[in-house]
Amino acid sequence: MMIAIGSDHGGYELKEQIKAFLDEKDLAYKDFGTYSPESCDYADIAEAACDAVVSGECEKALLFCGTGIGISMAANKINGIRAAACCDYFSAKYTRLHNDANVLCLGGRVVGVGEACELIDVFLSTEFEGGRHAVRIGKIAALEERERGLKDE
Protein backbone atom coordinates (compact mmCIF):
# COMPACT_ATOMS: atom_id res chain seq x y z
CA MET A 1 0.00 0.00 0.00
CA MET A 2 1.36 3.44 -0.97
CA ILE A 3 0.37 6.15 1.50
CA ALA A 4 0.32 9.86 0.68
CA ILE A 5 1.47 12.12 3.48
CA GLY A 6 1.39 15.89 3.70
CA SER A 7 1.26 18.78 6.12
CA ASP A 8 1.37 22.53 6.43
CA HIS A 9 3.83 24.14 8.84
CA GLY A 10 1.51 23.44 11.81
CA GLY A 11 1.76 19.71 11.18
CA TYR A 12 5.28 19.60 9.77
CA GLU A 13 7.08 18.32 12.86
CA LEU A 14 4.49 15.57 13.43
CA LYS A 15 4.67 14.54 9.75
CA GLU A 16 8.43 14.18 10.01
CA GLN A 17 8.06 12.06 13.18
CA ILE A 18 5.43 9.90 11.50
CA LYS A 19 7.80 9.18 8.60
CA ALA A 20 10.09 7.38 11.07
CA PHE A 21 7.08 5.37 12.32
CA LEU A 22 6.08 4.39 8.77
CA ASP A 23 9.70 3.41 8.01
CA GLU A 24 9.75 1.18 11.09
CA LYS A 25 6.53 -0.51 9.94
CA ASP A 26 7.92 -0.90 6.44
CA LEU A 27 5.01 1.10 5.00
CA ALA A 28 5.70 2.91 1.73
CA TYR A 29 4.77 6.58 1.52
CA LYS A 30 5.05 9.55 -0.79
CA ASP A 31 5.60 12.93 0.86
CA PHE A 32 3.67 15.78 -0.79
CA GLY A 33 5.27 18.43 1.45
CA THR A 34 5.66 20.78 3.06
CA TYR A 35 9.38 20.22 3.27
CA SER A 36 10.33 22.83 5.88
CA PRO A 37 8.72 24.53 8.89
CA GLU A 38 8.15 27.71 6.84
CA SER A 39 4.56 28.93 6.73
CA CYS A 40 2.44 27.56 3.88
CA ASP A 41 -1.25 26.97 3.04
CA TYR A 42 -2.80 23.64 3.97
CA ALA A 43 -5.23 23.62 1.02
CA ASP A 44 -2.31 23.33 -1.43
CA ILE A 45 -0.95 20.28 0.38
CA ALA A 46 -4.39 18.68 0.72
CA GLU A 47 -4.91 19.12 -3.02
CA ALA A 48 -1.62 17.47 -4.01
CA ALA A 49 -1.93 14.51 -1.62
CA CYS A 50 -5.64 13.90 -2.23
CA ASP A 51 -5.25 14.05 -6.01
CA ALA A 52 -2.83 11.13 -5.61
CA VAL A 53 -5.51 9.20 -3.69
CA VAL A 54 -8.24 9.91 -6.23
CA SER A 55 -5.96 8.94 -9.14
CA GLY A 56 -5.12 5.63 -7.43
CA GLU A 57 -1.42 6.43 -7.09
CA CYS A 58 -1.87 6.23 -3.31
CA GLU A 59 -4.44 4.18 -1.41
CA LYS A 60 -4.83 6.48 1.58
CA ALA A 61 -3.46 9.77 2.87
CA LEU A 62 -2.29 10.97 6.25
CA LEU A 63 -2.51 14.74 6.53
CA PHE A 64 -1.34 17.06 9.29
CA CYS A 65 -1.95 20.69 10.15
CA GLY A 66 -2.10 22.51 13.48
CA THR A 67 -5.51 21.13 14.44
CA GLY A 68 -6.14 18.60 11.66
CA ILE A 69 -9.29 20.54 10.87
CA GLY A 70 -8.32 23.00 8.11
CA ILE A 71 -6.56 20.38 6.06
CA SER A 72 -9.55 18.00 6.45
CA MET A 73 -11.94 20.72 5.26
CA ALA A 74 -9.82 21.28 2.17
CA ALA A 75 -9.45 17.54 1.53
CA ASN A 76 -13.20 16.98 1.73
CA LYS A 77 -13.78 19.43 -1.13
CA ILE A 78 -12.17 16.93 -3.51
CA ASN A 79 -14.57 14.44 -5.08
CA GLY A 80 -13.89 10.91 -3.86
CA ILE A 81 -12.15 12.02 -0.68
CA ARG A 82 -13.60 11.12 2.69
CA ALA A 83 -11.28 12.79 5.18
CA ALA A 84 -11.66 12.50 8.94
CA ALA A 85 -10.01 14.78 11.49
CA CYS A 86 -9.54 12.58 14.54
CA CYS A 87 -7.94 12.95 17.94
CA ASP A 88 -9.17 9.77 19.61
CA TYR A 89 -8.81 6.05 18.96
CA PHE A 90 -12.53 5.28 18.66
CA SER A 91 -13.04 7.88 15.93
CA ALA A 92 -9.96 6.78 13.97
CA LYS A 93 -11.26 3.18 14.04
CA TYR A 94 -14.91 3.89 13.28
CA THR A 95 -14.19 6.32 10.47
CA ARG A 96 -12.75 3.28 8.67
CA LEU A 97 -15.48 0.82 9.75
CA HIS A 98 -18.45 3.08 9.03
CA ASN A 99 -17.27 5.93 6.76
CA ASP A 100 -14.64 4.15 4.67
CA ALA A 101 -12.48 7.23 5.24
CA ASN A 102 -9.52 7.33 2.89
CA VAL A 103 -7.77 10.26 4.55
CA LEU A 104 -6.86 10.67 8.23
CA CYS A 105 -6.12 14.20 9.42
CA LEU A 106 -4.26 14.85 12.64
CA GLY A 107 -3.35 18.03 14.50
CA GLY A 108 0.31 18.53 15.25
CA ARG A 109 -0.72 20.95 18.01
CA VAL A 110 -3.34 18.54 19.37
CA VAL A 111 -1.94 15.00 19.54
CA GLY A 112 1.49 13.81 20.60
CA VAL A 113 3.51 11.50 18.40
CA GLY A 114 2.74 8.39 20.50
CA GLU A 115 -1.00 8.91 20.22
CA ALA A 116 -0.70 9.82 16.54
CA CYS A 117 1.04 6.48 15.86
CA GLU A 118 -1.79 4.58 17.56
CA LEU A 119 -4.42 6.47 15.58
CA ILE A 120 -2.58 5.82 12.32
CA ASP A 121 -2.10 2.16 13.17
CA VAL A 122 -5.79 1.52 13.74
CA PHE A 123 -6.78 3.68 10.75
CA LEU A 124 -4.54 1.76 8.36
CA SER A 125 -5.40 -1.71 9.67
CA THR A 126 -9.20 -1.44 9.91
CA GLU A 127 -11.39 -2.52 6.98
CA PHE A 128 -14.65 -0.88 5.94
CA GLU A 129 -17.67 -2.83 7.20
CA GLY A 130 -19.79 -2.22 4.10
CA GLY A 131 -23.48 -3.23 4.28
CA ARG A 132 -25.75 -0.44 5.46
CA HIS A 133 -22.72 1.87 5.63
CA ALA A 134 -22.08 1.43 1.91
CA VAL A 135 -25.54 2.85 1.24
CA ARG A 136 -24.60 5.93 3.26
CA ILE A 137 -21.28 6.33 1.46
CA GLY A 138 -23.27 6.15 -1.79
CA LYS A 139 -25.31 9.11 -0.59
CA ILE A 140 -22.13 11.12 0.00
CA ALA A 141 -21.11 10.33 -3.59
CA ALA A 142 -24.59 11.45 -4.72
CA LEU A 143 -24.02 14.80 -3.00
CA GLU A 144 -20.78 15.17 -4.96
CA GLU A 145 -22.71 14.47 -8.15
CA ARG A 146 -25.29 17.09 -7.20
CA GLU A 147 -22.56 19.68 -6.64
CA ARG A 148 -20.99 18.81 -10.02
CA GLY A 149 -24.39 19.29 -11.66
CA LEU A 150 -24.88 22.67 -10.03
CA LYS A 151 -21.45 23.79 -11.30
CA ASP A 152 -22.30 22.70 -14.87
CA GLU A 153 -25.59 24.64 -14.91
User: Which residues carry out catalysis?
Assistant: 65, 98
Beta partners for residue 64, in sequence order: 7, 106
CB 14 within 8 A of CB 106: yes
**Residue closest to ligand RB5 when measured from CB atoms:** 70
**Shortest Å distance, C-beta 104 to ligand RB5:** 15
- How many whole angstroms separate alpha carbon 25 and alpha carbon 74? 28
Residue 42 in contact with ligand RB5, rule: CB under 6 A: yes
Size of the site for ligand RB5 (CB under 6 A): 8
Span near ligand RB5 by CB under 6 A; candidates 51-59, 61-69, 115-123, 135-143: 61-69
Distances (CA, A) of 95 to 19, 23, 82, 150: 22, 24, 9, 28
Q: Which residues bind ligand RB5 (CB under 6 A)?
A: 8, 10, 42, 65-67, 69-70
